[in-house]
């Protein structure tokens, strides 16, 4: 609406003025950009006034997450280079140091980049680097507890539709395979680090992008929200959908 109104006013002014049409035409783009930003700002402001955010009830887990609500922090990502792997490992360590809870575990869920072949010469080195890095993190913090950090790595599969070797369904596929593995299915990952049996009791999964950090005690707050009875999902079999609560936050 704002863009349309600005355009009409702009050309109306041009019609009744003696300003050169070429000069006016060069001003169209910045005028439309300004109008669009103004329109978005006004719409966002009205939306915030009409739909106020509501805080969800939360359990008080100040003393720690209960074992029955064991949670895995998962980062689906790709192995691209040695420098990239170093960045991934550093990010996992930082997240753990900000969220040191006995019922929290941290996992990298990885694929290799798309390729014309199932295996590339550099693949083995990249997988070795990430495997050794996860093992080193577990050794570094062994005095805290064992099996803090995990690795779930998949090999490429042939995608006939796209004509490349790639991780099955990329990010969505990694998370689906992780969920199936947590529920007991085997053989979905070709390289794993950590005792998988411990994760069979995982109740919640917090998914983060590669560059998303987890502020101090944020995981505990999120789990406390998910665990509250009023937030539990209620499934209506007749409607075949969740009618109350939340399955994803």
Q: Assign 15 a pLDDT band (cuts: 50, 70, 90).
A: low
Give the residue, 249 or 18, on which the prediction is more confident. Answer: 249
SS3 string, the chain, reads CHHHHHHHHHHHHHHCCCCCHHHHHHHHHHHHHHHHHHHHHHHHHHHHHHCCCCCCCCCCCCCCCCHHHCEEEEEEEEECCHHHHHHHHHHHHHHHHHCCCCCEEEEEEEEECCECCCCCCCHHHHHHHHHHHHHHHHHHCCCCCCCCEEEEECCCEEECCCCEEECCCHHHHHHHHHHHHHCCCCCCCCEEECCHHHHHHCCEEEECCCCCCCCCCHHHHHHHHHHCHHHCCEEECCCCEEEECCCCC
pLDDT tier at 50 (50, 70, 90 boundaries)? Answer: confident
pTM of the model: 0.79
pLDDT higher than 90, residue 125: yes
Whole-number percent of the chain with pLDDT over 90: 69
Q: What is the pLDDT of residue 222?
A: 94
Lowest-pLDDT range, 13-22, 141-150, 174-183, 194-203? 13-22
Model confidence pLDDT, tens digit, residues 153-171? 999 999 999 999 999 999 9
Angle at Cα 121 formed by Cα 117 and Cα 126, nearest 5°?
105
Taking the C-alpha atoms of residue 58 and residue 232, their distance in angstroms, rounded to an integer, is: 11
| Cβ neighbours of residue 77 closer than 8 Å, sequence gap 6 or more | 88, 108, 109, 110, 111, 210
């Amino acid at each position: 609406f704002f863009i349309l109104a600005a355009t009409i006013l702009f050309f109306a002014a041009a019609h009744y003025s003696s300003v050169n049409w070429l000069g006016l035409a060069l001003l169209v783009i910045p005028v439309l950009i300004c109008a669009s930003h103004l329109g978005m700002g006004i719409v966002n402001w009205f939306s915030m006034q009409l739909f106020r955010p509501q805080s969800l009830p939360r359990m008080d887990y100040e003393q720690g997450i209960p074992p029955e609500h064991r949670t895995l922090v998962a980062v689906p990502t790709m192995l691209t280079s040695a420098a990239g792997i170093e960045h991934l490992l550093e990010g996992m360590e930082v997240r753990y140091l900000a969220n040191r809870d006995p019922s929290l575990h941290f996992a990298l869920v990885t694929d290799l980049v798309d390729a014309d072949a199932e295996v590339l010469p550099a693949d083995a080195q990249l997988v070795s680097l990430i495997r050794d890095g996860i093992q080193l993190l577990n050794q570094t913090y062994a005095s805290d507890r064992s099996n803090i950090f995990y690795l779930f790595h998949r090999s490429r599969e042939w995608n006939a539709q796209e004509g490349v070797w790639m991780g099955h369904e990329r990010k969505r596929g990694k998370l689906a395979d992780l969920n199936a593995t947590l529920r007991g299915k085997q053989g979905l990952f070709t390289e794993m680090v950590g005792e998988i049996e411990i994760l069979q009791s995982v109740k919640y999964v917090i998914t983060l992008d590669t560059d998303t950090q987890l502020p101090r005690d944020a995981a505990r707050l999120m789990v406390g929200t998910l665990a509250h009875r009023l937030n539990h999902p209620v499934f209506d079999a007749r409607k075949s959908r969740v009618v109350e609560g939340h399955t994803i936050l």
